[in-house]
A and B are shown apart, each in its own frame.
Chain A
Amino acid sequence: MDFLTLFPYVGIILLVVINTILVMKRDIKVDRNEDDNPAM
């Protein structure tokens, strides 16, 4: 199996890992009086 055929399988794993890191580092606000800061 060549690299580009294999890539999507590895790529999906990389993508969800990067996404998880980004979400963990981000401040998320869904309401004016609410803030879910993971650092807190």
Chain B
Amino acid sequence: MDYFKEHYITLILTAVYVAGCLYIGWHFKKKAKRGVEGYFVAKREIPGWVISLAFFSTSASTNTYIGQAGISFQYGLSWAWMGLIWTFFCVISWQLLGPRMRYQTARLKSFTIPDYFHLRYKSSLAKSIRVLSAFIILFATIWYMVGIAKGCAHVLTSVLDVPYEYGAFAIIFITCVYTIWGGMYSVLWTDAVQGIIMFGVAILMLMVPFIYLGGVDNVLESISYTEHLSKSGKPIGNGLVVFGKLVSFLYILGIGLSIGMKQISEPKNLIRFYSINNAKSMRFAMIWTPIFLGISLVCVMGLGALVHGMTSVEEANYLINNTDEVIGFMLNKFDNKLVSGICVAGLFAAGMSSLASVIIIIGTAFVNDIWHVLKPMPVNKIIPRTKWFMGIYCLMVYVLTLYPMAGIVELTAFAGAVFAASFFPAIFGGLYFKWGTDLGALASMVVGMLVNIIWRFAFRFKYPELEDIHEIIPAFMFSLITYVLVSLLSKKRRPDQKHLANVFD
């Protein structure tokens, strides 16, 4: 009884939120059954505001609201540059890729990112690119899913005392159920609801230190000079508000690029463009998505630095080495059940929106882009098999979440770098360059992956002066150059003029 008395607000808010997500999934169950185009891309009939919020909510995750927000406790307000870099790539993604991707994928009847490669470059080699890119998706996303599920399960454990294994089970399988029911319809509509919650929670979280300390002046005064120690044991002094004093700009740039560039290359983001219903909606989403993301990141990215004003020296000494606990600490110190409850619902929303987007991507990648390509199946089998595979994959993710390997956050960031370097040139070239070829696309993918691995394991951590240069920078450059060079050297492999006219004109 005491348990319910203590946690009733959080429990009610969480229950309402989960029930809402399941209702959306159930509501779209019938609609999603009506053909592959409905289940995979929601028949390209979703309004712009839904797509905009869905893009925002899938871009930010629990890691943004806990990990990224907390790490500014260590690095100071300079960490807010991450938000700027991230928003910049959101703008690039919508400006460069959004309208063209929607146009070309509708003309090609493409339902997934891997099948876009196949249909756009149109050759037997392009078929191999489809299968290869589907394998990259399967491999790279599993670590991401484990990382998100782990983060959400820890939130449940710390806030509601739910055992880790039950928390992980709940978060993975609730998301899996509504995704299986409604396909892309339920993913997009639940993502939109989750986006609204996340936007509100970002603003609410920023207000906490200001209310606790009694206003803007008091917050600025408390962080402008502090006796707290940095991670290296030296006094922070004015480091929280002085640019680059606690972290190098090159490091911020490397991490910022590796996360920000996901928006121009990750299938879970790019697939959003497929489902938008018309040009008016596209215009709305192009304007509003960077606003939703930018404002949320402004609120969240420097939050940890502000929490210094709420901590004693002893507490700061602990938190500086455990930055993932900074946001939980802040909420506990504020001690308001309603605020904590809303924030917990927001953290679930952040985690579940990212999980659902990935679940449908892996289901379609395996069934439509590997199985169906290697051994064609009747069209009416595609949706049921996709559902089965999503369920099995979620089970695998659950097992891995129970025994998470060390360094999963790093692995997730590495997977993001692999996506950016291997997918972007083939997508961008496919959208803009009529002279782009299948060989150019394949070579850029392989080079992107290899440079990622070689730079990380043979250079970056062997030479201290290279440590701050994230593998995404050289991998992206080499991959892009490879696409251009190989495409120009393999002119004969260009698709015929009729096909190109259908795609571009």
Contacts and interface: CB of A to CB of B under 8 A. Distances in A.
Interface of A: 1-5, 7-9, 11-13, 15-16, 19-20, 22-24, 28-32, 34-36, 38
A1 B294 CA distance: 21
> Which of B77, B94, B106 has the most chain A CB atoms closer than 10 A to its own CB?
B77
B243 A4 contact: yes
B371 to A, nearest CB: 30
A14 B295 CA distance: 12
Contact of A15 (B103, B279, B282, B290): B290
Contacts of B29: none
Interface in B274-318: 276, 278-280, 282-283, 286-287, 290-291, 294-295, 297-298, 301
Contacts of B102: 30
A16 B87 contact: yes
A24 B220 CA distance: 38
B243 A2 contact: yes
B228 to A, nearest CB: 17
B47 interface: no
A30 B99 contact: yes
Q: Is the interface of B mostly helix, strand, loop or mixed?
A: helix
Given A8-B80, A23-B286, 15 more contacts: A4-B244, A5-B76, A8-B81, A12-B295, A12-B298, A15-B87, A15-B88, A16-B87, A19-B95, A28-B283, A29-B99, A29-B279, A30-B282, A32-B107, A36-B278
A32 B99 CA distance: 12
B84 A15 contact: yes
Interface in B318-358: none
Contacts of A23: 95, 283, 286-287
A38 B99 CA distance: 15
B276 A15 contact: no
A24 B94 CA distance: 13
